[in-house]
Amino acid sequence: MSEELKNPLPRHVAVIMDGNGRWAKERRLPRLAGHNAGAQAVQRTLEAAQRTGIKYLTLYAFSTENWVRPQDEIDGLLKLLEQTLDRYTKEAAKHGVRLLVSGEKDRLPPAIVEKIEHAVASTAANTGLTLNLALNYGARQEIVHAANALIQEGKTHITMQDIQAHLYQPSLPDPELIIRTSGEERLSNFLLWQAAYSEFYFTPVLWPDFDGAEFEKALATYRTRVRRFGGL
Ligand code: IPE
Ligand code: IPE
Ligand code: MG
Q: Check pocket membership of 36 for ligand 1, CB cut-off 6 A.
A: no
Contacts with 62 (C-beta within 8 Å, 6 or more apart), sequence order: 77, 81, 103, 134, 135, 136, 137
Q: Domain coordinates of the chain in residue numbers?
A: 12-139+175-223
Spatial distance between the Cα atoms of 87 and 107, rounded to a whole number of angstroms: 23
Measured from the CB, is residue 214 less than 6 Å from ligand 1?
no
Band of the pLDDT at 23, cuts 50, 70, 90? Answer: very high
Query: Which residues are within 8 A (CB) of 180 and not within 5 positions of it... i.e. 6 or more apart?
Result: 15, 16, 18, 186, 200, 201, 202, 203
Among the listed residues 19, 11, 15, 78, the one whose alpha carbon sits nearest the alpha carbon of residue 44: 15
**What fold is seen in the domain 12-139+175-223?**
Undecaprenyl pyrophosphate synthetase (3.40.1180)
Q: 24-55, pLDDT tens digit by residue?
A: 999 999 999 999 999 999 999 999 999 999 99
pLDDT of 1 higher than 80: no
What pLDDT is recorded for position 94? 83
Give yes or no for residue 226 having a pLDDT over 80.
yes
Nearest CA to ligand 2 atom 14: 188
pLDDT average, residue stretch 65-79: 98
Spell out the alpha helix ranges (H) of the chain. 20-26, 31-52, 71-95, 110-123, 139-152, 160-165, 212-224
Q: Higher-confidence residue: 164 or 92?
A: 164
Residue 92's pLDDT is what? 83
Q: What is the pLDDT of residue 159?
A: 98
Average pLDDT rounded to a whole number, residues 148-155: 98
pLDDT at 2: 53
Report the residue among 18, 102, 203 best suited for mutation to probe ligand 2: largest number of ligand atoms under 8 A from its CB.
Answer: 18
For the chain, give the mean pLDDT. Answer: 96
For a mutational test of ligand 2's pocket, the pick from 141, 188, 192, 206, i.e. the residue with the most ligand atoms closer than 8 A to its C-beta, is: 188
CB 17 less than 6 A from any atom of ligand 1 = yes
**18 noted as active-site residue:** yes
Rounded to whole angstroms, what are the CA distances from 105 to 91, 115, 131, 136, 188? Answer: 23, 12, 18, 7, 19
Interval 47-64 mean pLDDT: 98
Tell me the per-residue pLDDT of 74-121, one tens digit each, with 9 for 90 and over.
Answer: 999 999 999 988 888 888 878 899 999 999 999 999 999 999 999 999
Taking residues 197-207, what's their average pLDDT?
A: 98
Q: Ligand 1 within 6 A of 69 CB?
A: no
pLDDT, tens only, 126-149: 999 999 999 999 999 999 999 999
Q: Which protein residue has the closest C-alpha to ligand 1 atom 6?
A: 62
